[in-house]
Structure 1
Amino acid sequence: MSLQSRDRNRAGQYAAAAGLTLLGSAAGLVAWSRLLVNRHMPLPPALPGRHERIISRRAGALSLYSAGEADGVPLLLIHSINAAANAYEVRPLYLHYRGRRPVYALDLPGFGFSDRSRRRYTPRLMVEAIHAAVDEIRQRHGGCVIDALALSLSASFLARASLECSDAYRSLALISPTGFDAQLSGEGPPDGHRGRDWLRDALDRPPFGRPLFDALVTRPSMRFFLQKTFGSPDIDEDLLNYDYASAHQPGAEHAPWCFIAGHLFPTDTTRLYEQLRLPVWMVHGVRGDFVDYRLVPRVADRPNWRVETLPTGAFPHFEQPEAVMAGYDAFLAQLGAPSARRPG
């Protein structure tokens, strides 16, 4: 046998061994996921008060928390987008404002107790969910305008929702909003997204889609990503525990795979922010992986914008809740009393 033939045989043997190793690893991953991972963990409500599902024609069944006993302008709180997002992310804000004014918190489609079916999750779907929640809240409060606050990537969804229905809002608040950085800023086609269908189809496909997601949302992995969000090992342990349970529910993988494949990232985020004419309050931290706000000067000097910075990570309302509430309350105090306006 020639040397070349030997090399080819060895290469074939190595390739076969590698293929068997990968096949065995994949089979082991599927078996681990199915036999050892609990995908039906108990998941209590993320927030106290009334918890219900409202039916939206365009966004499906939506989970809505509320504490609406107090008087005042209703406040809607919207969590961020990540592999384990849910309404627990706004818990410090919700607890602070309940009893002081009507306060609501939404689980966006694919997260928490909202519909987690396998479908394509896009910014448009999230905007429709916000429209549905805002319509529901306004109907309960005589058609008055509301204040709304969103975290991270969801700030772009809220911005678009308010532009499409500006008469429904008195003000917007954005905590660590995505879209002022070099990578995810957007001046592309309106109402588009950055999704790659081939990647989403490859990830969110049986039999490996759910096992891969289970490997992504192990407790060490989730701790690692929360530490990157907080910019510190000192994370909120209760948030981690709730996120872990939320990520181990049936259908929990579908929206995160769309997030990872880019479908939830708008193409025109920067333009959305620049188009806002409502009063806007923004706060962000300076630690962690989410500190690129190089495009903020494009809006910071506008009379309707108020931008603040805190020495925190991307969730300042967990690290310095008093400072966040004080800044937001000072912003709200400058707004005039809203007039009641009926949905039109």
Structure 2
Amino acid sequence: MTSPFRHRAGRSAAAAALTLAGAAVGLVGWSRLAVNRRMPLPPALPGRHERLETARAGDLSLYSTADAQGVPLLLIHSINAAANAYEVRPLYLHYRGLRPVYALDLPGFGFSERSRRRYTPRLMVEAIHAATDEIRRRHDNLPIDALALSLSASFLARASLERSDCYRSLALISPTGFDAKLSGEGPPDGHRGRDWLRDALDRPPFGRPVFDALVTRPSMRFFLQKTFGSPRIDEGLFDYDHASAHQPGAEHAPWCFIAGHLFPTDTTRLYERLRLPVWMVHGVRGDFVDYRLVPRVAGRENWRVETLPTGAFPHFEQPDAVTAGYDAFLAGITRLPPARPM
């Protein structure tokens, strides 16, 4: 005799399955019919905006303003679901007219190529190499200064270790890799990616609809507030991020980010190997405040570490303090001993 409890359990499971299927169908329908995936996206920065065709990193978007003379400065944004060159806008606007300034959209973000491929630290390093080579070609092969935000600091560190003669100095704003979770002493040039997760996320018909749900305005405001550690976010950055996340192919690089493919396995070791002059600044609010491993480098002669009472984007909250600290660091470079070869 069949138990009535089994009938009830079967009906409950069937109802749950139908509800889930209905929600999935509804999500796909909402994404296709209600979400604008081609929002107008103006250039994030003033000046010259061009695309570089590269063999190893695909087509790259590069902004520049080179009216002034001096050592070129390359600015590199962070990695997140809606990253782009707008993240370095306060620094770009400050230094234009004072020296040649360039800003890169990394692969998968902004106006750079957003094809469906595996985005890894190696791909990002190749993009930095390509941009640096182009910048130096235009400026008599001078070594450049380069500044990167958050996770991209590890990409810049590796790029400089591979081609130290291309750089005069490095600047790292809120770099990942000094915390307990994302520090790295693992295999060199590796990543933490899980292919099965990336394949599950970045797959039709649900990959883009789920991403569309992730980058709604309420969701993006929530995560940006965690970055700033405050409800007082930069509204221009918020609006631009929202538009950038609603472009064709915008989901591919973020899914690799979420699946771990963009997190190096050896970040801490990269920082410890640096011999170039390094300036670092970070805030004390929000989700990015674990810098417990900074003492490994803070006492070194080539490192200068500063802290500001801000979130992870101090250059938006206290741009004058950030640029003053950076300028003081650059002014002192000539007093540092020359970098030793690796």
What do residues 136-193 of structure 1 show as CA deviations (whole Å, max 9, x unaligned)? 0000001110000000000000000000000000000000000000000000000000
- Correspondence 1:111 to 2:109: yes
Matches within 5 A, 1:133-172: 133-172=131-170
Q: Distance in 2 between matches of 1:336 and 1:248?
A: 45
Partner of 2:48: 50
Partner of 1:194: 192
Partner of 2:91: 93
Partner of 2:235: 237
Number of paired residues?
Answer: 335
Corresponding residue to 1:176 among 152, 174, 177: 174
Letter in 2 for 1:29: L
Letter in 1 for 2:243: A
Q: Distance in 2 between matches of 1:322 and 1:136?
A: 30
Q: Distance in 2 between matches of 1:80 and 1:162?
A: 17
Q: Distance in 1 between matches of 2:307 and 2:35?
A: 40
Query: How far 1:9 moved relative to its partner?
Result: 1.3
Query: How far 1:34 moved relative to its partner?
Result: 0.2
Q: Distance in 1 between matches of 2:333 and 2:274?
A: 16
Partner of 2:300: 302
Partner of 1:65: 63
What do residues 236-259 of structure 1 show as CA deviations (whole Å, max 9, x unaligned)? 000000000000000000000000
Partner of 1:24: 22
Q: Distance in 1 between matches of 2:169 and 2:224?
A: 29
Q: CA RMSD in A?
A: 0.8
Letter in 1 for 2:153: A
Q: Distance in 2 between matches of 1:293 and 1:213?
A: 30
Query: How far 1:69 moved relative to its partner?
Result: 1.2
Query: How far 1:8 moved relative to its partner?
Result: 1.2
Q: Distance in 1 between matches of 2:306 and 2:334?
A: 21
Q: Distance in 1 between matches of 2:331 and 2:311?
A: 26
What secondary structure sits across from 1:23 in the alignment?
helix
Unaligned runs of 5+ residues in structure 1 are 338-344
Letter in 1 for 2:49: H
Q: Distance in 2 between matches of 1:12 and 1:122?
A: 44
Q: Distance in 2 between matches of 1:197 and 1:218?
A: 26
Letter in 2 for 1:174: L
Q: Distance in 2 between matches of 1:114 and 1:336?
A: 36
Letter in 2 for 1:334: G
What do residues 67-91 of structure 1 show as CA deviations (whole Å, max 9, x unaligned)? 0110000000000000000000000
Query: How far 1:16 moved relative to its partner?
Result: 0.6
- Correspondence 1:128 to 2:115: no
Corresponding residue to 1:223 among 221, 225, 232: 221
Query: How far 1:204 moved relative to its partner?
Result: 0.2
Letter in 2 for 1:70: A
Q: Distance in 1 between matches of 2:333 and 2:10?
A: 73
What secondary structure sits across from 1:225 in the alignment?
helix
Partner of 1:317: 315
Q: Distance in 2 between matches of 1:21 and 1:199?
A: 24
Partner of 2:268: 270
Corresponding residue to 2:245 among 244, 247, 270: 247
When the two structures are superposed, what TM-score results if normalisation uses the length of structure 1? 0.97
Q: Distance in 2 between matches of 1:99 and 1:336?
A: 23
Q: Distance in 2 between matches of 1:83 and 1:68?
A: 30
Matches within 5 A, 1:31-46: 31-46=29-44
When the two structures are superposed, what TM-score results if normalisation uses the length of structure 2? 0.97
Query: How far 1:336 moved relative to its partner?
Result: 2.8
Query: How far 1:57 moved relative to its partner?
Result: 0.5
Letter in 2 for 1:183: K
Unaligned runs of 5+ residues in structure 2 are 336-342
Partner of 2:338: none
Q: Distance in 2 between matches of 1:135 and 1:11?
A: 64
Letter in 2 for 1:181: D
Query: How far 1:335 moved relative to its partner?
Result: 1.8
